[in-house]
Amino acid sequence: MNAYIFPGQGSQFKGMGLDLYQNGPKSVKKLFEQADRILGFDITKIMFEGSDDELKQTNVTQPAIFLHSVALAQTIEDFAPAMVAGHSLGEFSALVAAGVLSFEDGLRLVSQRAEAMQRACELNPSTMAAVLGLDDATIERICTEVMGLGEVVVAANFNCPGQVVISGTHEGIRLAGEALKAAGAKRVLPLPVGGAFHSPLMEPAREELAEAIADTPFNQPRCPIYQNVNAQPATAIQTIKTNLIAQLTAPVRWTQSVENMVTDGATTFIECGPGKVLQGLVKKISVSAEVAGV
């Protein structure tokens, strides 16, 4: 049973989508042209020719990865996913693949989400760090202890066993990092991000996204989507909306999502989007699963 998975922020690279644009079907070229029009700037040129710094800007990164992922999915003949999931931003790509959102509406939401997240980052200076080699429970306990000191720090991304990303204020990350190393973490690596994604500090962005989602038409999905906030399959439109809004301030439960998809019959995970990050994570979560990329 095939599960299609879609990557999130961090998978971008200079030149992404160029080969697809030049050699793919006409429908793909049309998507890029639509994206330029909808966004009001030449995202195609930035993706193909832009610098790493330009591609790292949240208002560019998120729509670029979304566009690349959806375009790749459209090249698949007889596309019929049994289930889909996306990592953070990738959940929007998954919703388009499942027929819940149109490409146009999905891109608008992604753009609004990116802008709202950028504003939240400017309002509350914050960051993230990857914790390697420590169990989830210990990481969550230490984050709770640091929160008790008046700082914000939470477990934000459960990526795979032994790899969790924490998110919070600069001081919260520093204090948690010291405690995590003392508890046995192999490494605590600061991430080059502009803010504390998937933490309470994203509350202003969550409110903005909720308004945008309320004004966007959602359709019945063609297959279950395993959503980040609870790792459970969703098919009800209101549930999908509620989970999508909650995602901004809640952790990404990727490990649990993959485990549940395997339990429900997924044997092959096909990544649609730039890079191979999710394929690597899936293999660390389930050694029996087959992985592939488009």
Say what the pLDDT of residue 64 is: 96
Quick one: average pLDDT of 156-167?
97
Would the pLDDT of 112 be above 90?
yes
Quick one: average pLDDT of 142-161?
97
19-23, 44-48, 104-108, 237-241, range with the lowest pLDDT: 19-23
Say what the pLDDT of residue 215 is: 95
Domains of the chain: 2-122+200-293 (3.40.366.10), 125-190 (3.30.70.250)
Say what the pLDDT of residue 193 is: 81
Would the pLDDT of 66 be above 90?
yes
Would the pLDDT of 73 be above 90?
yes
Q: What is the pLDDT of residues 185-232, one digit of tens each?
A: 999 999 978 789 999 999 999 999 999 999 999 999 999 999 999 999
96-101: long-range contacts, CB 8 A cutoff, minimum separation 24: 96/70, 97/4, 97/6, 97/70, 97/73, 97/272, 98/221, 98/222, 98/223, 98/225, 99/219, 99/220, 99/221, 99/222, 100/218, 100/219, 100/220, 100/221, 100/225, 100/237, 100/240, 101/216, 101/218, 101/219
8-22, 63-77, 104-118, range with the lowest pLDDT: 8-22
- Active-site residue, selected from the candidate residues 88, 93, 199, 286: 88
Quick one: average pLDDT of 98-120?
96
pLDDT band with cut points at 50, 70 and 90 for residue 263: very high
Judge whether 198 counts as a catalytic residue: yes
Would the pLDDT of 59 be above 90?
no
Torsions phi, psi for 47 (to 5 deg): -60, -40
Say what the pLDDT of residue 9 is: 87
Say what the pLDDT of residue 55 is: 86
Quick one: average pLDDT of 177-185?
97
Say what the pLDDT of residue 38 is: 96
Say what the pLDDT of residue 53 is: 84
Would the pLDDT of 77 be above 90?
no
Would the pLDDT of 145 be above 90?
yes
- Active-site residue, selected from the candidate residues 11, 69, 93, 198: 198
CA distances from 284 to 218, 277, 278 (A): 33, 11, 10
Judge whether 111 counts as a catalytic residue: no
